[in-house]
Structure 1
Amino acid sequence: MKTILIPIDLSSRSYHTAHFGLELAHQLGGSVLLLHVVHPSPSAPSLSIPMVEMDSDSRKSSSYDQLTTDLQHFEDELNDYRREAGMLDVKISSRMVVGQPVEAILEVAHSEHPAFVVMGTVGASNAWDKMVGSVSSAVAQEVRRPLWILPNATRLNTLRKFAYFAELAGSEVSCIDQVLDLGEKLRARVNVVHVSPVEEEDFLEAEAITEMFEVSYAAKRITFQNLMFDTVADGIETYVKLHWPDAVVLAHRDWGMVARLFHRSAIRQLALTTRRPLLILQKQN
């Protein structure tokens, strides 16, 4: 059974994220795993404490009792939503761990191998956020599972136009197939967009590749488009502003250091500032 991993902080925003994850699990015939990470100390260094399950001493504390109550209340409300929405086929479970949020989420994503991770995001609001980014954007740079980042309340059935910004390199066919498969389940149209920087001479090569893709995917609800801008980031931002896709899709892979840092910065910027759902896929070289 496919698992949808949903990290939550028990805030009102988490309910929106959990509702989307529940709808996704229902669509895929899967289950939901809620993950709440308890920060060990506000002053603890970000990489000093590994993720651990709650020990027996922690379970005896009043703070643990309150956290357990809050988590159970969250799960109860999500179960109410599940019943009202007619999604009783979706199993909901929860887990609470102690650790740094980013490291804990990555560890659980690695061990549980979920079909998708679903997270919310908050824009950079102070100097610390601007320096290191939100938890969502940090997870986006390292996670090895498909990741949804939701900027606000989003209903899965409202996603009718996907824009996948493709490099036309690496395991591109696999990524296109993933987006297309999800699009078909949601009855959504997919547009694959490649942005060529002006200073690079790959536009004609990209045109030839997309022509081959157009032939291969002729029977599918998918289109292909090549654009030329000063930078890839400029092209993505301009396209999104002009065409207003319901969801933006990116893929990242391990590659050369300079290129990787550039691509990660683009992902981080979109994760922090996008006003529409962002799906990030892992691409093989």
Structure 2
Amino acid sequence: MKTILVPTDFSDTAYNAARYALHLARQVGTTRVVLYHAYELIVPVPDVPDPIPVIDPEDLKQSSETGLSLMRSRLQADLPEGVTLLTRSENQLLQAYIDQVAKEEQADLIVMGITGGSGVEEMLLGSNALDVMKETHTPLIIVPGEASFREINTVVFACDFRKVTENTPIQPLKLLLDAFRARLFVVNVDHEKRHFTADTPFETLVMDTLLADYTPEYRFVENESVVEGILTFADQEKADIIITVPRQHGFLAGLFHRSRTRQLAFHSHIPLLVIRE
């Protein structure tokens, strides 16, 4: 894993995520960490009663570069030996351009922070991390604001065992599992076998074949709430990261509906690794 991309807005949460990325770099042998700030120039709209003040693009650029320089300086104490910390600043909309940046930087992973919320707060505030999650096809680690880095020794992979071959991004998943070299739990949450089908035993066997090199341990958790079931199990096993695969289509009531991943991201104190199909 050569490069980790860390989008930042210079908040405390972003600094925490950057520190997490640097410690993770030490564990997985990353050699480049790129701090990325996307600032968006607001263009005045004609005939608007309360016009938006015009901001000089050069001022925005200078402010962005100054923030990145300061951040880079403050992170030097956490920089592992052999890791280069770089910066990149652009006038872009983050979620629209993030995949292009990841491609240009040859990033294997994106790391971002998120601040916890609940109820109406999380619905209204949203999150840059969740916006990026919807758009990027690069694996994304979402780091809760209060989470500190723990070496990844235990991984929980949340799975619904539906169309495993079709829906599991197995190559990026294997690359990350190879880097972590951690104990792997494959966890399915259900309630009174509502989602158990005639295909479930076969799909479980398929998953076991795909992950045979990692000696996965399977757990079937009984809980009405998929999110609560995952988090409770992860806490019990002292998991260091939770892996989830948001679905574009399919089993809308299951774990991988985007709203469930959103709940996990906001309420988990354990970092969440999102791998898109």
TM-score (norm 1): 0.75
Q: How much does 1:137 deviate?
A: 1.8
1:172-222: CA deviations, max 9, x gaps? 796466556534543421101122454635256434443565577566442
**Corresponding residue for residue 122 of structure 1:** 115
Matches within 5 A, 1:64-75: 64-75=61-72
The one-letter amino acid of 2:64's match is L
**Corresponding residue for residue 58 of structure 1:** 57
Q: Within 2, Cα distance between the matches of 1:96 and 1:250?
A: 30
C-alpha contact 2:251 2:257 (8 A) present in aligned 1: no
Q: Within 2, Cα distance between the matches of 1:41 and 1:127?
A: 27
Q: Within 2, Cα distance between the matches of 1:212 and 1:129?
A: 36
The one-letter amino acid of 2:34's match is L
Are 1:192 and 2:189 matched, yes or no?
Answer: no
TM-score (norm 2): 0.77
SS of alignment partner, residue 257 of structure 2: helix
Are 1:263 and 2:260 matched, yes or no?
Answer: no
The one-letter amino acid of 2:258's match is R
**Corresponding residue for residue 33 of structure 1:** 34
**Corresponding residue for residue 23 of structure 1:** 23
Structure 2: gaps of 5 or more residues: 46-55
Q: Within 1, Cα distance between the matches of 2:207 and 2:250?
A: 26
C-alpha contact 2:160 2:255 (8 A) present in aligned 1: no
Matches within 5 A, 1:68-83: 68-82=65-79
Matches within 5 A, 1:67-146: 67-82=64-79, 85=80, 87=81, 89-109=82-102, 111-124=104-117, 129-131=122-124, 133-146=126-139
Q: Within 2, Cα distance between the matches of 1:129 and 1:164?
A: 24
Q: Which moved more, 1:11-20 or 1:171-180?
A: 171-180
Q: Within 2, Cα distance between the matches of 1:78 and 1:198?
A: 49
Q: Within 2, Cα distance between the matches of 1:29 and 1:164?
A: 23
Q: Which moved more, 1:162-171 or 1:252-261?
A: 252-261
Q: Within 1, Cα distance between the matches of 2:109 and 2:73?
A: 22
C-alpha contact 1:190 1:223 (8 A) present in aligned 2: yes
SS of alignment partner, residue 245 of structure 2: strand
**Corresponding residue for residue 53 of structure 1:** none
Question: Taking structure 1 as reference, are residues 249 and 153 closer, same or farther at Cα in structure 2, changes over 3 Å only?
Answer: same
Question: Taking structure 1 as reference, are residues 181 and 138 closer, same or farther at Cα in structure 2, changes over 3 Å only?
Answer: same
Matches within 5 A, 1:238-277: 238-256=232-250, 258=252, 263-277=257-271
Are 1:182 and 2:181 matched, yes or no?
Answer: no
Structure 1: gaps of 5 or more residues: 45-56
1:60-106: CA deviations, max 9, x gaps? x3x54343222112122333432xx4x2x222221112243433434
CA RMSD in angstroms, aligned pairs only:
3.6
Are 1:236 and 2:241 matched, yes or no?
Answer: no
Q: Which moved more, 1:199-208 or 1:184-193?
A: 199-208
Looking at secondary structure, tell me which structure has more helix per residue. 1
Matches within 5 A, 1:156-171: 156-157=150-151, 159-168=152-161, 169-171=163-165
